[in-house]
Chains A and B, each alone.
Chain A
Amino acid sequence: MSERGQKLPSDVRVGVYVCHCGVNIAAVVDVRQVAQLARGLPGVVVARDYNYMCSDPGQELIRQDIRDYALNRIVVASCSPHLHEETFRHAAAAGGLNPYLVHMVNIREHVSWVHPDRERATEKACELVRAAVRRVVWHEPLEQARVSIHPDVLVVGGGIAGIHAALTLANAGKRVYLVERQPSIGGHMAMFDKTFPTLDCAACILTPKMSAVQAHPNITLWTLAEVTRVEGYVGNYEVEITRWPRYVREDLCSGCLKCIEACVYKDARFPDEFNLGLSKRKPIYLPFPQAVPQVPVIDPATCIQFKSGKCKKTCVEACGERGAIDLQAVPKVERVRVGSVILATGFQTFDPRRMPEYGYGIYPNVYTSLEVERLVNASGPTGGEIVLRDGRRPQSVGIIHCVGSRDRRHNPWCSRVCCMYSLKLAHLIRERTGAEVFNFYIDMRTPGKGFEEFYQRLLEEGVHFIRGRVAGVSDWALDPSEEGKLVLRVEDTLLGIVRRIPVDMVVLAVGLEPRSDAEELRRLFRVSCSAEGFFLERHPKLAPVSTFAEGVFVAGCCQGPKDIPDTVAQAGAAAAEALALIDRGSIEQEPNTAYVLADHCSACRTCVSLCPYSAISIVGGDGRPHAEINPALCKGCGTCVAACPSGSIRQHLFEDEQIVAEIEGILAGVAGG
């Protein structure tokens, strides 16, 4: 085999510790029997079982035994190493042992929680412990490498989550790059009129923060920009950002907006993205009055100059000597080095065209909730007047909850915010039009602070709440009273009766879902996604803003649907995690990295292209070229180890001897040995 051969290292003294985990393990596995078996294994000096090994007395047991029995290897049979490997390594280190001479066996998730039969579960636990004892013998002391943390931070996404995270970091004195794809920051929150349940004006609370971002000396804001390439590792990310041209120079523009006025299009005639097509804009426009930066943008898809090259360029003329309009602008690539990243890319709303039963895109008076947010907004397409597309004021409005949500055909999850924003819209519609408002819900979910009270208020306002999911919206009139209306057919499940309810306006409370291009970002930053497509946190309870990529944190709806208070709280948490990382200055890296036996390597380059972390390069030039692995980049995935044709790549903590010994330990039970 390898140069080390299979000779057992001398003077091995193993301690084995079997945890009861209360009844979690002990109820199924006979932990005494497992300890008993361990005592008879070669090299084992002491074996114990204990109620909670992770408790302080449990750890003290290990520390004391190391001193009393001069132990030099430790096996702990308990839960998943994900939970307590750190704990037991620390205990060993406190006892004066190198922490990597500890090995954990998972007899909870892998045994007691999945096997009902006590005898066979105990047998499996014994075999796993035997294998671990054989393996740990081959463990060697390892040292952790340290990498320094670059103090700058990249925040991707300029919605309320990104804004709050960026400001928190910048206020703490850190340099922040804030990258936003749209021409202005503000995100979805900038589109809302009021926020639930307090009904405070979204713009009034958001715009000061937007301006603060703009003015902050520690924040570099790039709008119309996207991350296009990411390299490096925690503490040392190198990120490439492509800035798409705005065609109006931010450094020269004064925000006078004369160019817009001067555009050869006297009337706005192109669908306004910010108002979801409910109003029109010109080819040169400001997305919305409070946009940050307060600089117009030219849309090349609609601008005559870009389409035909034959425009009078009245905008350039209007700008005059300032010369801020730059029709020759080209995309610009920025490269920055940052130590940590906060992903705050938000969500998209469910497209109700996927549910033709609700008639969106078929009947003009069927709206999405986001469109109604714009309609009720004072700076929206109707100046806050709630009017239908034909100019009529609705006398009856139906709000359908859970559109696209809680639906196995579409999004199985609850979008969390729709009940509350539906209540808010119901209130605003009723307040401004006096219309009769019907809410169609499956379950009312109002679990936040002040939410239930808001629901109570709506009940008092005389809004109808009908428990039932609307089966369909149509203009089919069965009765003269339904002529010219949209008719909702629904079972009022509390009455057990099917009802037909004619309304003038239907509002679809569309759910929240991951952005359709979240997958690309996921790949760039090497984070994970849940099955639904939201970015996956490292632990749902205990590491809610960390990801499986170290130094990359998540905030806001890109991690899952949530409301504004939760988003801001999460953004603050992500900023705090990033700050903690920066202030440590450096971090230790797991030494489970791969390494090359240079003498054996033929520099065939197989590993170089396979490495998902670009950690391998060929060095040694004209002398004796061979592969070399940068331990700071290596994540210990083992791909190169398995792929190397000459077997000249090995990996700490996964040495051949360790794995073979472990396998033999398992098989020894089968062979009866």
Chain B
Amino acid sequence: MALRRYLYYPGCSLRGTGVAYDESLRECFRQLGLELVELEDWNCCGATSYMAIDEGAACVLSARVLALAQQQAPGVDLVAPCSACYLVLRKTEDYISRYPEIRSRVEASLRKAGLPVQIGVQVRHPLEVLWEDVGPEAIRKRVQRHWRGGRVACYYGCQAVRPYGEVDRPIRPTRLDELMEAVNVPVVDYSLRTRCCGGSLTGTIHEVGLRLNYILLKEAVRRGAEAIVTMCPLCQFNLDVFQNEMERQTGEPFDLPVLYFTQVLGWCLGAELEKLGLRHLIAGRDLVERWFVKERPVEAYV
């Protein structure tokens, strides 16, 4: 199968707390014959904070990323796995095309830096790439391992499916669920699938951030999910890291694995275990061990 090539923009989170996403995404794409070439010298997208300080500077940051992509591989799609990066890059493209004032600032800065001013980069989320360029049917055919874990709640988070994006419809998206079903992972009907995790609120107004994530976990459990599948590093972080603290505060036990969809997909497609970044998970380690690691061949499954 011919390799399809994509430029890869990991973003700051995948260098730190979201390292498991980085590892499993690379592996998952490799399994499907999709090549990821990391963008050289990429910078931060500005996330939500930049827009709150300086709109012009926020657009310049993203514009540099887009221009680097244009310079390094014109015509090649740019994959941004972090929902915040994805939204910010796409929003910048929208702003540049919509507002002449912003366009002229951005173009002035690109010209000064000797970067291409005409940008025609398609920014895409990995879920969108898997859905549109590979397709759930093709993925179903490539399943190597039979899922023996429990039911999962697919959590889309907010920014990837919101305006400016094209990952899925913004209200009640279904593609992540359908992709999980394609690799025989049972899903629960999770009505909070796009309810925000609070993003950086767990770091700023902690009790509010914590409450948002408590709600998400509690409803997933109520729905009968044994794990949550995510597609954004910040969502994964918030849901994974604070379960202990929630348990202490509420007295309700929480120990749910919070997985990246690329970890589940990669495993089902037969990826090498150590390449899925499972060691970086914090909550629900016993289940992760049982579902992923204690592997036995499943002869029955063809």
Contact = CB atoms under 8 A, between A and B. Distances in A.
A476 B172 CA distance: 14
Contacts of B171: 355-357
B15 interface: no
A474 B171 CA distance: 12
A509 B164 CA distance: 30
Main secondary structure of the interface of A (DSSP, over half): loop
B220 to A, nearest CB: 11
Contact of B215 (A355, A357, A478): A478
B191 A356 contact: no
Contact of B222 (A356, A357, A474, A477): A477
The size bracket of the interface on B is under 10
Contacts of A478: 215, 219
A477 B218 CA distance: 10
B40 to A, nearest CB: 40
Given A476-B191, A476-B192, A357 B172 contact: yes
Given A475-B191, A476-B191, A477-B222, A356 B215 contact: no
Contacts of B169: 356
| Residue from B169, B171, B172 having most chain A Cβ neighbours under 10 A | B172
B252 to A, nearest CB: 14
Contacts of B222: 477
A478 B172 CA distance: 19
A354 to B, nearest CB: 10
A474 B191 contact: yes
A490 B215 CA distance: 18
Interface string B146-170: 0000000000000000000000010
A478 B169 CA distance: 25
A530 to B, nearest CB: 28
Nearest to A473: B191
B192 A356 contact: no
A477 B220 CA distance: 11
Interface in A207-225: none
Nearest to A477: B222
Contacts of B191: 474-476
A407 to B, nearest CB: 13
Nearest to A356: B172
Given A476-B191, A478-B219, 4 more contacts: A357-B171, A362-B172, A474-B192, A476-B219
Nearest to A487: B191
Interface string B218-230: 0100100000000
7 contacts: A356-B171, A357-B171, A362-B172, A476-B191, A476-B192, A476-B219, A478-B219
| Residue from B191, B192, B215, B219 having most chain A Cβ neighbours under 10 A | B191
Contacts of A356: 169, 171-172
Nearest to B223: A476
Nearest to A475: B191
A362 to B, nearest CB: 8
B190 to A, nearest CB: 9
A356 B192 CA distance: 13
Interface in A325-377: 355-357, 362
Interface in B117-168: none
Interface string B184-204: 000000011000000000000
Interface string A68-110: 0000000000000000000000000000000000000000000
Main secondary structure of the interface of B (DSSP, over half): loop
User: What 7 pairs across the A-B complex have the smallest Cβ distances?
Assistant: A356-B172, A474-B191, A476-B191, A357-B171, A356-B171, A476-B219, A476-B192
Contacts of B215: 478
Interface residues of A, number: 9
A627 to B, nearest CB: 50
A360 to B, nearest CB: 11
A570 B171 CA distance: 40
Nearest to A478: B215
A213 to B, nearest CB: 45
Contacts of B172: 356-357, 362
A443 B176 CA distance: 38
Contacts of A474: 191-192
Contacts of A355: 171
B193 to A, nearest CB: 10
Contacts of B192: 474, 476
A478 B217 CA distance: 12
Nearest to A474: B191
A149 B171 CA distance: 55
A524 B222 CA distance: 56
A476 B195 CA distance: 12
A475 B215 CA distance: 14
A344 B184 CA distance: 52
Interface in B218-257: 219, 222
A501 B238 CA distance: 28
Interface in A448-506: 474-478
A170 to B, nearest CB: 50
B194 to A, nearest CB: 10
A356 B191 CA distance: 11
A195 to B, nearest CB: 34
Nearest to B195: A476
A475 B224 CA distance: 14
A475 B188 CA distance: 13
Nearest to B222: A477
Interface in A501-557: none
Nearest to B174: A356
Interface in A606-639: none
Contacts of A477: 222
A477 B221 CA distance: 12
A187 to B, nearest CB: 33
B42 to A, nearest CB: 35
A289 B26 CA distance: 65
A408 to B, nearest CB: 13
B221 to A, nearest CB: 12
A262 B191 CA distance: 47
Contacts of A476: 191-192, 219
A357 B192 CA distance: 11
A476 B219 CA distance: 7
A355 B222 CA distance: 25
B119 to A, nearest CB: 29
A362 B219 CA distance: 18
A477 B192 CA distance: 11
A355 B215 CA distance: 24
Nearest to B219: A476
A355 B191 CA distance: 14
A173 B265 CA distance: 75
Nearest to B218: A478
Interface string B76-112: 0000000000000000000000000000000000000
A248 to B, nearest CB: 44
Nearest to B169: A356
A472 B232 CA distance: 24
A477 to B, nearest CB: 7
A476 B222 CA distance: 9
Contacts of A357: 171-172
Nearest to A357: B171
B18 to A, nearest CB: 27
B140 to A, nearest CB: 24
Contacts of A362: 172
A477 B169 CA distance: 24
A146 B92 CA distance: 64
A118 to B, nearest CB: 33
B208 to A, nearest CB: 14
Nearest to B192: A476
A481 to B, nearest CB: 14
A357 B169 CA distance: 11
A503 to B, nearest CB: 16
Nearest to B172: A356
A356 B219 CA distance: 19
Contacts of B219: 476, 478
A482 to B, nearest CB: 11
Nearest to A483: B222
